[in-house]
């Protein structure tokens, strides 16, 4: 990079730093950015494709071939941090809204709108793209695979909305019990896991695991609310770190939970969908570490060169979440017409695939930046959109969901 370009980046970083309010909690923003970036990194590294005899893309995973790769998912599965920071930030936001005289309903509508607009945008765009791509010769199987990947991360938004709606009750629980208010959620997940994996598993209905969906992700959020209410300090953080590590080890070694934190095609058990007790153990470890490292992270992010990227990532949070799979597909779908491309459409069953996929990451990231230049508008209020256009976007989004979920 040339010296003028470097000087320009330094000036931009300094400008962002100077405009940051002194009271801004840089550590919380840094943790959120870290958790956000872990989502595309995890999907791009742990998700692969194969090309079938008809030239169509099908999902594949390197984890099916490389068991030693599974611990990477422990690092990249950072939704515990995301929910922790979400609970912390929601508590402060809700407290400020109440102080302004805003109603709980008004506060919640604002949060839901900020989350919902980008989801509506990406699903509506893909609904319009599917017939165009099919007309250009993209196989229907490829479109099914692509739709599944696009909609896969969006489940998080629905769960996060539901949990955000519980914020006032989470605050009351934290006021009474502090961080201990998260323990019943841990117990609820443990009971469901015992029923679905224990001696009575054969008699349990298949939908039983869905009972873990809300308490499983609410656990870290409740810890974040307690943190925001100043009811989670360093002593509690050490307990989470040590206790979570012990539980994590016991579940792997004594109870034989799957090692991978993400699902592997062909495997009967998965940890994340819905979350198992192993996910909560990892979230406890991550939460404890986050609380203990908060001051250090905050001091580190006083440097303009480190703080500026954090600001950019946070401003584009939903764009990254909603469009990162589209960026991967923007490389893989054209590649499928060339056959088995190493690291892209070739079966992820060799060590060479890992090296090749790492080489593809800069291009995929660049595609996400390019897509984000246009998709970023979905995060801002749709002031110029008429009621008819909003209704059309909703109709397209619903149609895409039906297609992606295999309901039509």
Distances (CA, A) of 216 to 58, 213, 244, 298: 30, 5, 14, 28
More confident residue, 245 or 274: 245
- pLDDT at position 66, please? 82
* Residue 49, strand partner residues: 59
- pLDDT at position 262, please? 82
- pLDDT at position 5, please? 63
- pLDDT at position 63, please? 84
Q: Using CA atoms, how far apart are residues 366 and 104, in angstroms rounded to an integer?
A: 40
State the average pLDDT for the chain.
92
The pLDDT of 164-189, averaged and rounded, is: 97
Tokens (6 digits) for 328: 């991967």
Backbone φ, ψ for residue 400 (5° rounding): -65, -40
Burial string for 27-43 (b: 16+ CB within 10 Å, else e) reads bbbbbbbbbbbbbbbbb
Contacts made by residues 366-374, CB under 8 angstroms, sequence distance 24+: 367/327, 367/330, 367/331, 368/40, 368/320, 368/323, 368/324, 368/326, 368/327, 371/323, 371/326, 371/327, 371/330, 372/316, 372/319, 372/320, 372/323
- pLDDT at position 186, please? 97
Q: Using CA atoms, how far apart are residues 160 and 83, in angstroms rounded to an integer?
A: 8
Q: Using CA atoms, how far apart are residues 140 and 50, in angstroms rounded to an integer?
A: 15
- Residue 124: pLDDT band (50, 70, 90) is very high
pLDDT above 60 for 1: no
pLDDT above 70 for 266: no
**Helix, strand, coil abundance in the chain, percent, nearest 5:** 75, 0, 20
Q: Using CA atoms, how far apart are residues 316 and 377, in angstroms rounded to an integer?
A: 10
The pLDDT of 370-398, averaged and rounded, is: 85
Burial string for 94-110 (b: 16+ CB within 10 Å, else e) reads beebeeeeeeeeebbee
pLDDT above 70 for 338: yes
- pLDDT at position 227, please? 97
Q: Using CA atoms, how far apart are residues 208 and 358, in angstroms rounded to an integer?
A: 38
Name which of 300, 307, 369 is nearest 13 in CA terms. 307
pLDDT above 80 for 407: no
Residues 321 and 152 sit within 8 Å (Cβ to Cβ): no
Which helix or strand (DSSP H or E) is residue 131 part of?
helix 104-135
CA 115, distance to chain mean position in Å, is 13
The pLDDT of 361-381, averaged and rounded, is: 92
- Residue 46: pLDDT band (50, 70, 90) is confident
pLDDT tens profile 58-115? 999 888 888 777 888 899 899 999 999 999 999 999 999 999 999 999 999 999 889 9
Look up tokens 């308490």; give the residue: 215
Instruction: To the nearest 10°, report the CA torsion of 273, 276, 281, 286.
Output: 10
Q: Using CA atoms, how far apart are residues 274 and 292, in angstroms rounded to an integer?
A: 28
The pLDDT of 144-157, averaged and rounded, is: 90
* Domain residue ranges in the chain: 32-379
Q: Which range among 52-56, 213-217, 235-239, 261-265 shows the weakest confidence by mean pLDDT? A: 261-265
- Residue 23: pLDDT band (50, 70, 90) is confident
Distances (CA, A) of 269 to 274, 276, 282, 338, 372: 10, 10, 17, 34, 35
- pLDDT at position 177, please? 96
Q: Using CA atoms, how far apart are residues 245 and 247, in angstroms rounded to an integer?
A: 5
Q: Using CA atoms, how far apart are residues 13 and 228, in angstroms rounded to an integer?
A: 28
Distances (CA, A) of 11 to 15, 94, 315, 373: 6, 35, 19, 21
Angle between the N-to-C axes of helices 351-375 and 317-336, in degrees from 0 to 180, rounded to the nearest 10: 120
Q: Using CA atoms, how far apart are residues 132 and 338, in angstroms rounded to an integer?
A: 20
- pLDDT at position 408, please? 58
Q: Using CA atoms, how far apart are residues 46 and 72, in angstroms rounded to an integer?
A: 9
- pLDDT at position 2, please? 59
Backbone φ, ψ for residue 359 (5° rounding): -70, -30
- pLDDT at position 159, please? 92
The pLDDT of 9-16, averaged and rounded, is: 85
Residues 270 and 152 sit within 8 Å (Cβ to Cβ): no
Backbone φ, ψ for residue 103 (5° rounding): -75, 160
The pLDDT of 14-40, averaged and rounded, is: 92
- pLDDT at position 293, please? 97
- pLDDT at position 406, please? 78
Backbone φ, ψ for residue 58 (5° rounding): -130, 150
């Amino acid at each position: 990079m040339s010296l003028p370009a470097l000087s320009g980046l330094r000036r931009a970083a300094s400008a962002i730093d100077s405009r940051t309010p002194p009271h801004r909690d840089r550590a919380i923003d840094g943790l959120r950015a870290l958790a956000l970036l872990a989502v595309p990194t995890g999907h791009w590294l742990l998700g692969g494709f194969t090309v079938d005899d008809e030239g169509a893309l099908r999902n594949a995973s390197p984890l099916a071939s490389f068991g030693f790769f599974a611990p990477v998912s422990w690092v990249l599965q950072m939704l515990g941090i995301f929910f922790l920071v979400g609970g912390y930030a929601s508590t402060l936001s809700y407290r400020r809204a109440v102080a302004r005289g805003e109603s709980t309903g008004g506060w919640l509508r604002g949060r839901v709108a900020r989350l919902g607009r980008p989801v509506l945008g990406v699903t509506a765009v893909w609904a319009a793209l599917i017939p165009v791509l099919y007309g250009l010769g993209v196989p229907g199987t490829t479109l099914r695979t692509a739709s599944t990947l696009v909609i896969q991360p969006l489940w998080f938004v629905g769960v996060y909305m539901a949990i955000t709606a519980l914020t006032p009750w989470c605050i009351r629980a934290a006021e009474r019990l502090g961080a201990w208010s998260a323990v019943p959620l841990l117990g609820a997940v443990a009971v469901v896991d015992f029923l679905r994996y224990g001696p009575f598993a054969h008699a349990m209905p298949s939908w039983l695991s869905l009972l873990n969906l809300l308490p499983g992700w609410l656990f870290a959020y409740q810890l974040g609310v307690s943190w925001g209410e100043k009811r989670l300090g360093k002593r509690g953080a050490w307990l989470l770190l040590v206790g979570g590590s012990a539980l994590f080890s016991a579940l792997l070694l004594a109870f034989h939970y799957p090692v991978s934190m993400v699902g592997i095609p062909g495997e009967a058990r998965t940890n994340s969908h819905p979350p198992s007790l192993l996910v909560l153990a990892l979230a406890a470890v991550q939460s404890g570490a986050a609380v203990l490292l908060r001051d250090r992270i905050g001091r580190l992010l006083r440097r303009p060169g480190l703080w500026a990227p954090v600001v950019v990532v946070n401003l584009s949070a939903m764009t990254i979440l909603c469009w990162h799979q589209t960026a991967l597909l923007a490389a893989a779908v054209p590649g499928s017409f060339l056959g088995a491309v190493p690291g892209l459409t070739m079966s992820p069953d060799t060590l060479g695939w890992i090296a090749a996929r790492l080489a593809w990451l800069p291009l995929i990231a660049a595609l996400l930046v390019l897509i984000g230049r246009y998709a970023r508008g979905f995060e801002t209020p749709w002031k110029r959109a008429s009621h008819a256009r909003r209704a059309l976007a909703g109709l397209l989004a619903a149609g895409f969901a039906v297609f992606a979920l295999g309901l039509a």
